[in-house]
Structure 1
């Protein structure tokens, strides 16, 4: 009897959840379902919409974000798609949603296993699109150098082609003194690795400019600043830069946001 009661209770909960979802869809046009990891379902949090199917539009899903943020993002993207009446598809860029204005990118989902409530309400998932977010540098999960893994954000479809990245070439130095020796008396427009053209060469030049500033800082401090690991000298410089911003009355966070925006444009060859 206990087992039968358990099955009955589960069925009642399922029916109540479906009824609640349908009521929200009827009232608002769509709703967002949040799902958390359990012992039976490991992986990151994810959220997805239910209700867009009735409008002939794909449902939306997003993985790896805090539930409140995921709900907000999906509602905004859904609102835009409903207003335009145009279905999102693989490779579409969604801008002016994230705080730092890094675009989201969409991927048509070929694996919709997770969208259970859509199937409960409509019998099947007609179409669904995953909204994918990049790492802090603007690099998407399928692109070289991304810091995101499947544990952070699995991609449930075939992504668009990866964009080329143009990071500055790695310098063969470990200390500020070695960096100083490499820079020497080179003209400021000279790259520190190899000559070339295009965005990577531009970023090599930019790295050289910053390298000269770091060497000047370490030289001014003297002592072990030139011989300790270059990461230590660079970290000390950044810390002192924050003190300088305080002294100048300049907003550090705003400056970092602007620099991040410029950096993303430069590594993608967009500026």
Structure 2
């Protein structure tokens, strides 16, 4: 994706308790047990972070399909403070941050979370095809549900994220990670956690996989539950 997309971050408000850390003891949240897989993000591997602006081209540079290899791991570590400092600060403060990708010439924008896996070992969430500020706010709503121990399942309708319509969380095929979630690939140093896509219905309540769903609903949202090679032809296979 060599494009003019702009990356924007949006932090959520701190937890209702008024503290500066997300709910739960940090050590408890990050402790690795047989039931809790490890986190390899930049926060877990680095205690320093300085803010820096990330361009889309730089974001893409971290999205190697195989993730960072042993030979370039030191180089990735060296860049951690500059590239991911602002996002790391948001995650430390509120549990996650919302990353927004501005619309391009062929595709609408999209938004996704970074930090839900680090803080709560929950899948990161993504949303496509709506106005960018609205998508970032809805990503934050999903994050608050997870923070407040109200997780949502896959392939069932979920209320409380959009204003008047449910969404359905669909598991994202990992083949999409480098193209659409390059910032997360870098933030998690190649060990990307699961992602889900929050899919919204058309004005008649029909989802893209249901017969009769409106054309706009089916085209502004990619079908990320499919492998990229099986996705219908269109701009999402090479968004710019």
With normalisation by structure 1, the TM-score equals: 0.49
1:66 maps to which of 131, 141, 147: 131
Find the aligned partners of 1:85 and 1:152 in 2 and give their Cα distance: 28
1:125 maps to which of 172, 183, 192: 192
Structure 1 position 51 matched with structure 2 position 115: yes
> Residues 30-83 of structure 1: CA distance to partner in whole angstroms, max 9, x if unpaired?
0000002335xx412100000011121100000001011101111111111222
Give the direction of change, closer, same or farther, for the CA distance of 1:26–1:96 in structure 2 (3 Å limit).
closer
What is the SS of the residue equivalent to 2:210?
A: coil
Structure 1 position 109 matched with structure 2 position 180: no
Aligned counterparts, 1:16-27, within 5 A? 16-27=82-93
Conserved 8 A contact 2:154-2:171:
yes
Aligned to 2:14: none
2:146 maps to which of 81, 85, 92: 81
1:35 maps to which of 98, 101, 118: 101
- The alignment yields a C-alpha RMSD, in angstroms, of 2.2
Runs (4 or more) in structure 1 with deviation over 4 Å come to: 12-15
Find the aligned partners of 1:78 and 1:97 in 2 and give their Cα distance: 10
Aligned to 1:141: 208
Ranges in structure 2 where 5+ consecutive residues have no aligned partner: 1-51, 55-78, 227-240
Q: Which has the higher contact order (CA 8 A, sep 6+)?
A: 2
Q: From the CA coordinates, give the structure whose radius of gyration is larger.
A: 1
Find the aligned partners of 1:109 and 1:74 in 2 and give their Cα distance: 15
Find the aligned partners of 1:33 and 1:72 in 2 and give their Cα distance: 10
Find the aligned partners of 1:98 and 1:22 in 2 and give their Cα distance: 26
The structure with more helix, counted as a fraction of residues: 1
Structure 1 position 151 matched with structure 2 position 219: yes
With normalisation by structure 2, the TM-score equals: 0.55
Aligned to 2:160: 96
Find the aligned partners of 2:89 and 2:204 in 1 and give their Cα distance: 40
> Residues 103-140 of structure 1: CA distance to partner in whole angstroms, max 9, x if unpaired?
11110100323111211111232101110110111100
What is the SS of the residue equivalent to 1:112?
A: helix
Find the aligned partners of 1:67 and 1:153 in 2 and give their Cα distance: 13
Find the aligned partners of 2:203 and 2:125 in 1 and give their Cα distance: 23
Find the aligned partners of 1:44 and 1:112 in 2 and give their Cα distance: 17
Give the direction of change, closer, same or farther, for the CA distance of 1:146–1:60 in structure 2 (3 Å limit).
same
